Structure 1
Amino acid sequence: MAGPGGRRCGQSWRCPGLRARLPVLRWLPRYSLAWLQLDLVAGLTVGLTVVPQALAYAEVAGLPLQYGLYSSFMGCFVYCLLGTAKDVTLGPTAIMSLLVSSYAFHQPVYAILLTFLCGCIQLAMGLLHLGFLLDFISCPVIKGFTSAASLTISFSQIKNILGLQGIPRQFFLQLYEMLRRIGETRVGDAILGLVCLATLAGLQVMKNRLPRAACTEPLAARVSYLIIWTCTTARNALVVLFAGLVAYSFQVMGSQPLTLTGSIPQGLPPFQLPPFSMAGPNGTVPFWTMVEDMGAGLAVVPLMGLLETIAIAKAFASQNNYRIDPNQELLAIGFANVLGSFVSAFPITGSFGRTAVNAQSGVCTPAGGLVTGRASHLALPSTLSPGHPGLRCSPSPAGTLVLLSLAFLTSLFYYIPKAALAAVIISAVVPMFDPGIFRRLWRVKRLDFVPFCVTFLLCFWEVQYGIVAGVLVSGILLLYSIARPPIKVSEGSVLLVQPGSSLHFPAIESLRDTVCSHALAGSPPRSIILDCCHISSIDYTVVVGLAELLQELRKNGLSLAFCSLQDPILQVLLSADLEGFQHFPSREEAERCGGVEPGGSGAAPFLSTSQSSLLPT
C-alpha cells in the first residue's frame, strides 16, 4: 500500500500544470531500454558533429574558440527538461554567431551579457504568450537574411582558407582586402582548405545517395551501411581530426606550413553570475552603457533565436507526426540562454543541421541531448582516464568510446588548422543559400520581392540594418493592404460595392472616395448597396466614417443600404444608432428593394433609424 508520500508523488506525475511546464514528465515515466539505446546513438552522433562546429562558430562570432564549447552543453540539459520537440538540439549556430559578431563587438563580456538579456526577453515572451510577434517576420525577410548570411559567413572564412591575417570583418572591406592581398596566400592553408571542402562535399553527397539497408539484408551489408552512414554523418569530426593529424605531423618534422588554432584554455568554465560591467582602458563600462551599445541587438538576437528554434521544431514535428507547444519552446530557449550566461556561453538557438542528424539517428526523446551535452561538456579537459568521474556517469560503453575520442581530439585542438574549421563552416552554411527563391518570389508575388531584396542587400552592409529594414518594408506593405483593401464595384440600376476584406480605420477614406466617385458621377446618380459578406471586423473610426458617408449621400438624395452583415458587425452598427441605417439579409433582397429612398419609401428594410449619435448636431 502506497503511503502519503507515494500518493503525492503519483499525483505530481499526473498534475496537468506541472506536466505542461515540465514536458519531461510526459515521457520519463514511460521511458524504456529501447528508447535509451536509440537516444544514445543519436546523442553520440550529434556529439561528434557539435564539437568541431562549436569551435568553428566561435570563430564566426569573433570570440576565443573555447566559448563555442562553453555554449554547447547547457542548452542540451535544459531542453531535455523543458523542450517539447524530441528532435531539436540547441547550441551555437551560424546565424546566431553572425549576430553575436555584430552586437558583441568580439568581446566575451558583451557576448555573455547579451546571452543573459536575450534569455530574459525570451522568458518574458514565453510567460506573456507573445510568440505571435514572430509572425510579423515574413518569409521573404527570413529568406533574404539567411541567403545573405550564407554568403557573408562563407566569404568571411575564405581568409582562413587562404591563410590571410588582418582582414577586416565588414563584408565589402573584407572582399576588397582579400582581392588586394591574394598574392600573400599561404599555399599550405589553401591546399588543405580546398581538400577539406572537397572531402566534406563528397561525404555529404555520399550520405544523400546512400540507400538504406533493409532488415532482411545480410549482416555484412547492414554493418557496411552503418559504417558508411556513421562516417558521412560525423564527417566534420573526421575532417578536423585528419587535418589536426596532418598539422601535427608537420610540427614533428620541424616545419609548419599551416595556420593553427593555437592553445585553448583547459577545464570547465566557472559557474558564476554574468558580468554586468566591463573594465575598459578608460575605466569601467557600466551596465546601461553596455545595453546602449548593444542597441537593436536586444530585439534582433532574441527574436531571430526564437524564430529559428520554433521554425525547426515545427518542421520536424510535422515530419515526425507530433505537436509542439510554441510558448513552452520560448520558455525552454529562454531558460537555456539565462543559465548559459552563467557558464560564459554566447546566445544559442536550434540548429537545423544537428537537428536533422538527431532525427535521422532515430532519437526518441529529448534525452538524446544529454549525451550530446555530456560529450561537449567533457570535451573541454585535455585527457580522460578510465577512472574519470565523467566516464562513470556515461550511460553506456558506446558513450564512453565517444567521450574518449572527443578527449583525444581536444588534446589536438592546438593543432587544428584554421583552414579546416573554415571548411567546416562553409560546408554548413552554403546549403542555407537558396538560389531558387529569387525566381519563386518573382513568379508567385512580385511585391514580396521588395522586402526580400531590401533585407538581402542591406545585410551585406550590416546585419541589423538588413533585418530591421526588411521588417519595416514588410510592415509598410501589410499596412498598405489594410489601408487600401480591394473594393469591387458593379454597375447597374443600383451601385453594388463589395469590400474584399475587413475594414479598419485607415481604409474608410478609400471606401468613401470609391462610393462617392461612382455614385455621384453617374447620370442620374444611383443609390448604393454595400455588400459586407467579407467584412468580419470594423472599428470605431470606420463606424464614424460610415455615418458621415450616409449623411453625405442623403444630402445628394441617395440611399445606402447594407447587406450580408455578419452578426458581430450588425451589432456594432446597431449600437452606433446610425441615421438612415438600413440593412438586408442578402444581396438579392437588397437589389429587389433597390428603390429604397432616404426617407424610407419602397420595401422596408430590417431597420431604419432616424438620427445618429456619432455626428455633431
Structure 2
Amino acid sequence: MTAPVVPTPPRSRLTRFVPLTAQLRTYRREWLGRDLVAGVVVGALIIPKNLGYAGVAGVPLERGLYAAAVGAIVYAVLGTCRQISTGPSSGIAAVAGGAVLATGVTGPDVATLVAGITLVSGLMFLALAVFRLGWLSQFLSRAVVTGFLFGAAIDVVVGELPKLTGTDAEGKTSFRELWSWLTGLGDAHTATVVVGVVSLVVVFGLHRAAPRVPNALVLVVGGLLASALLDLGDRGVALVGDIPSGLPSLEVPDLGLLTDHAGSVLLAAFALVMIGFSQTAGDARAFAAKHRYDVDIDQESVAQAGANVGAGLLQGMPVSTSLSASSLNDRAGARTGVASLTSGAVVLLALLVLAPLFSSLPKPVLAALIIEAVVMGMMDVPEMRRLRRVSRVDFWVAVAALVATLVVGVLAGVVVGIVLSLLWLVHVVTHPRVTTLGRERGTQVFRDLDEHPGDETVAGVVVLRLDGGLFFATADGVADRVRRASGEAGVRAVVLYLASVTFADSQGTAALSDVVRTATEAGVDVRLAGVRPAVRRVLERDGLVAALGKDHLHGNVHRALAALAGPSPDDDPAVRVTGS
C-alpha cells in the first residue's frame, strides 16, 4: 500500500527555519492520537536506555534524561523529518566516554567536560549547515564507521564486565582491562553475578524472542522490583545511587576546562558531528522517501546543532538520531513532530516524578542494559559479513579500525579511522582504472577484454578506457599505462576512450601530452575517442588537440578504428578474434 503524500504548504521564512510551524498548518485531527501514542511509547523506551547511555559516557544518569528531553523537543521544532527521534545513542555516548578516558578527567569535571563537548559539537553542526560542509562526512567511509563502532562496543562491554561481577579491573587498553577482569574473577560477588546473569538473559532473551517488547523497560522495572523485594543493596549488590528529581538549569560549561583539553574536545566533537550527520542525513532521507515528503538536509544540521547546543547548556550529553527510537516512532504511527514533543514531555515528567525511583537500580542491571544497547546498536555483524562478501578491502579496513579502537582507545580510534579513510581514498584516486577494450562480435559495443576474452581486437591497435579524472593525482598512473601500451611489440596505434573522464587539470593534460608526443615520435598513432566538451576545452588550451590534429579526435571507439582501418573496420582484414 502506497503511503499518502504529506501536504507541503508554501514556504516562508518562518516555516523554513521552524519547520514544525509548517507541519502544524496542515495538521489533521486524525493524526493527533497517533502522534500522542507514538510519543508516549518512544518516551517509555528511551527513559531506561538513556540511563544506560549516560553510564557509557561516564556522566550522572540524570544527564542522559536531560539530553533526551532537550534533543526530542528541539528537534521537533527545528527538524524537517517527521519520524526521527533525537537523543543520546550508544555510538555517540561511546565517543563521549572515550574523550573522558583520553583526558583523564575525573569527578564532577566529567559531566562538565561532556557537556562542553556537546556544546562544541552543536556549534560544529551549525557551521556544517551555514557553510554547507556536509560533504566532509564522506571522508569517513562506512567501512571505517562500522569497524570503529564495533571496536567501541567491545571497549564498552569490557568496561561494564566488572559491574556484572562486583570486581575491579584496570588497564589502559581493552585487552589489559579484560585480562585484569579475568584474573580478578576469584573475588566475584555471588549475588552480583546472579543479578548480572539474570539481567543479561532477560534483556537479550526478550530482544530475540519478543523483539516488539520494550526489553530495556522490562529489565529496569524488574531490576527495581527485585532491588526492593530482595533487599539487594543490603546483600552487597551495588546500586546506582542518588538520582535527583527536577529539571536541569541553564549552565555554560567551564571554558577553562575545555581549553585545557582543547585537542580532545575538538576531536571528540568532530567525531560526533561526522557520525551524527551521516546517521541523520541517511535516516531523514529514508523516512521522507517512505512517507513521500521532502526533507532539507541543511536544516537537519541546524536541528542537530540546536539539539546539541541545548543539551550542552542544560548539562546534558551529545545527542543524534536514534534509529531504534525513530523506527519505533514510525511503527507506532508518528505523523509529525508532535510525537517527538510528546516524547520530550514524557521524559520531563519522569525527571519530575520518577527520577528518585531509579536510585535503587542495581548496577549489574544497568551494566546489562548498556551491554545490550551497544551490542545490538553498534556490533553490526551482518554488515561485517556483507563487507567480507562484497569487498575484502573494505572488510579489512573495517577490521583495522576495530583493532585500532581497541588498541589505542575510542577517541584515538576516530583519528585512525579518518586516516584509514583518507589513505584508502588516496589509493583509489592515485590508481585509476585503465581498461583494455575489445569489441563484441557483430556489434559496435566495446567491453572490458579481461571480462570478455573472446571479444574482437584489431591487430596492432590497443584500445584503452580511462575511468576517473585526468588530474594531478592520476596523471602518472595514466601516463605509465599508455606508455606501456604504446611500447608493446607490434603496436601501431593506441585509442584512448575518455568518455568516463569528467575532469582534467593542467598536470593531467601535461602528462598526457608528454606520453602522446613520445608515442608519436616512436611511430605510434594516438587517437582520442569520446572526449567530453569540458575536457576537450582543457586539452585545446594545453595545445594537445592542435598537436594531435582534430582529425585524431573521434566521437566513439568505432569511429576511431574506422579512421585507422580505412573505409570500415568490419572490412579490415587485420581484425582477428582473440582466444580462438
Match of 1:48 in 2: 44
Which of structures 1 and 2 has the bigger CA Rg? 1
Match of 1:473 in 2: 420
Is 2:191 the partner of 1:188? yes
Find 1:113's aligned residue among 100, 112, 116. Answer: 116
* Superposition map of 1:375-414 within 5 A: 375-381=346-352, 407=353, 409-414=354-359
Find 2:558's aligned residue among 584, 588, 596. Answer: 588
Find 1:435's aligned residue among 363, 381, 391. Answer: 381
Pair 1:505–1:414, CA change in 2 (3 A): same
Pair 1:488–1:47, CA change in 2 (3 A): closer
Q: Greater shift after overlay, 42-51 or 429-438?
A: 429-438
Find 1:425's aligned residue among 362, 370, 376. Answer: 370
Determine the C-alpha separation between the residues in 2 that align with 1:143 and 1:43. Answer: 30
Find 1:127's aligned residue among 117, 126, 130. Answer: 130
Match of 2:295 in 1: 324
Match of 1:263 in 2: 242
Deviations 1:339-381 (A, max 9, x none): 2211111111111222222122111112111121112223223
Pair 1:74–1:187, CA change in 2 (3 A): same
Is 2:154 the partner of 1:151? yes
Match of 2:578 in 1: none
Match of 1:503 in 2: 470
Is 2:516 the partner of 1:546? no
Find 2:64's aligned residue among 68, 74, 81. Answer: 68
Determine the C-alpha separation between the residues in 2 that align with 1:474 and 1:254. Answer: 48
SS in 2 for 1:331: helix
Q: Greater shift after overlay, 423-432 or 56-65?
A: 423-432
Find 1:533's aligned residue among 494, 499, 510. Answer: 499
Tell me if the contact between 2:245 and 2:355 (Cα under 8 Å) persists in the aligned partners. no
Is 2:513 the partner of 1:568? no
Q: CA deviation at 1:338?
A: 1.0
Is 2:309 the partner of 1:338? yes
Q: CA deviation at 1:294?
A: 2.7
SS in 2 for 1:113: helix
Is 2:2 the partner of 1:32? no
2:247 partner letter: L
Q: Greater shift after overlay, 350-359 or 289-298?
A: 289-298
Match of 1:99 in 2: 95
Tell me if the contact between 1:156 and 1:169 (Cα under 8 Å) persists in the aligned partners. no
SS in 2 for 1:412: helix
Match of 1:211 in 2: none
Match of 1:198 in 2: 201
Unpaired stretches in structure 2, ≥5 consecutive residues: 1-8, 438-457, 569-580
SS in 2 for 1:313: helix
Pair 1:163–1:319, CA change in 2 (3 A): farther
Tell me if the contact between 1:535 and 1:566 (Cα under 8 Å) persists in the aligned partners. yes
Is 2:16 the partner of 1:20? yes
- The number of aligned residues is 527
Determine the C-alpha separation between the residues in 1 that align with 2:11 and 2:297. Answer: 20
Q: CA deviation at 1:541?
A: 1.0
Match of 1:244 in 2: 224
Pair 1:28–1:353, CA change in 2 (3 A): same
Pair 1:83–1:50, CA change in 2 (3 A): same
Determine the C-alpha separation between the residues in 1 that align with 2:392 and 2:335. Answer: 42
Q: CA deviation at 1:254?
A: 9.0
Q: CA deviation at 1:147?
A: 2.0
Determine the C-alpha separation between the residues in 1 that align with 2:153 and 2:283. Answer: 17
Determine the C-alpha separation between the residues in 2 that align with 1:442 and 1:50. Answer: 33
Q: CA deviation at 1:293?
A: 4.2
Q: CA deviation at 1:321?
A: 4.2
Q: CA deviation at 1:168?
A: 5.2
| Alignment RMSD (CA, Å) | 2.5
Pair 1:254–1:96, CA change in 2 (3 A): closer
Tell me if the contact between 1:483 and 1:504 (Cα under 8 Å) persists in the aligned partners. no
Normalised by the size of structure 2, how large is the TM-score? 0.85
Pair 1:66–1:194, CA change in 2 (3 A): same
Pair 1:477–1:162, CA change in 2 (3 A): same
SS in 2 for 1:466: helix
Determine the C-alpha separation between the residues in 1 that align with 2:69 and 2:299. Answer: 20
Tell me if the contact between 2:479 and 2:515 (Cα under 8 Å) persists in the aligned partners. yes
1:368 partner letter: A
Q: Greater shift after overlay, 75-84 or 148-157?
A: 148-157
Q: Greater shift after overlay, 302-311 or 369-378?
A: 302-311
Q: What is the identity percentage for the equivalent residue pairs of Structure 1 and Structure 2?
A: 25
Pair 1:289–1:236, CA change in 2 (3 A): same
Tell me if the contact between 1:550 and 1:580 (Cα under 8 Å) persists in the aligned partners. no
Deviations 1:179-206 (A, max 9, x none): 0111222222221222222222333334
Is 2:482 the partner of 1:482? no
SS in 2 for 1:497: strand
* Superposition map of 1:509-524 within 5 A: 509-523=476-490
